[in-house]
Amino acid sequence: MTARRILVTGANGFVGSRVVARILTDGLETPRAAIRREPHDALPGGETVRVGSLGPDTDWSEAVRGADVVVHCAARVHVMRELAEDPLAEFRKVNVEGTVTLARQAAAAGVERFVFLSSIKVNGEESQPGKPFEASDAPAPSDAYGKSKYEAEVSLQQIASETGMAVTVIRPVLVYGPGVKGNFRTIMRLLALGLPLPLGAVDNRRSLVALDNLCDLVMACARSAAAGNKTFLVSDGEDLSTTTLIRRLAAAMGIAPHLFPVSPRMLGTAATVVAMGGIAKRLLGSLQVDIEPTARALDWRPPLSVEEGLKRAADDFLRRPGSR
């Protein structure tokens, strides 16, 4: 019996590369890695296909030929220093039009399942105390990235109804793990430098997801008939305050954190003054998700604890040159 072939887009990215590695490790399916360039982006194992940039005119014919499942990780992600005159148009070109082009070509090629990596930003930027986000909540994206992901979800649902190709949407919270960048890596860097941080009194709650937990759910969605035409939220199943996260991350790094308490209100005001309100919201605000519906639908639980996830991220960071 021929093993099913899973096409992974964005296969040299943070999430995509880990999904390919997981498929190779399991040995149950054959991965096909879609990348933008070659040869230096080519991945070991499986099959690599160059598709160029993601957009409305991308030719996916070679990539989707003979594929049973598509795991769509490629995207224009949140940009910290946006230079585009019309950011929403740029996000739509890649995340909406590019996704629609791929999905339609996949359906025409006979792909059975399309797993779409969306974002919790579709739900919104901040959850209310005691009310974690659920997949059934009314979407409330506020930035260009979140809006583009929501529009892509709507388009995929339409394609599913027209073609019969099953579509599964996963909305991850902040993903951390080996190779993580952004604010999470910045915090590790500050801890490694021994700098004092004014985050010792933040009593928020945030859901996070370890990279390997996310990949485990991706594979469950690629394999389970119960995942068809559903939307799932994903996290580690344990929500942390920013203060607790930093303490536990420092412990994973073998470092004593230098935290001192400053009122979150004062921190938020100061961040707004220096045009860093977005970062402050992520550090000071709450964003929780309820993964019980995901767990029940797929008989799934995150295989890694928060401690294990943080240790993998910390070990990888400390192995890299210049980490200390």
Which amino acids are annotated catalytic? 145
Token pair in block for residue 148: 């583009």
Nearest of 29, 47, 28, 30 to residue 38 by alpha carbon: 47
Token pair in block for residue 122: 């579709």
Nearest of 231, 216, 233 to residue 19 by alpha carbon: 216
Burial class from Cβ neighbours inside 10 Å (0-12, 13-18, 19+) for residue 261 reads exposed
Nearest of 4, 5, 2, 25 to residue 215 by alpha carbon: 25
Give Cα 221 distance to the centre of its chain: 15
DSSP of 97-149: IIHHHHHHHHHHTT--EEEEE--GGGT-S-PBTTB-B-TTSPP---SHHHHHH
Q: Cβ neighbours of residue 296 under 8 Å, at least 6 residues apart?
A: none
Burial class from Cβ neighbours inside 10 Å (0-12, 13-18, 19+) for residue 253 reads buried
Residue 268, φ and ψ in degrees, nearest 5? -65, -40
H-type helices in the chain, by residue range?
16-26, 61-64, 87-91, 99-108, 144-163, 182-193, 211-223, 242-253, 264-273, 277-284, 292-298, 306-319
**What is the C-alpha separation between 196 and 82, in angstroms, rounded?**
29
For tokens 């059975």, the residue is 112
**What is the C-alpha separation between 50 and 60, in angstroms, rounded?**
9
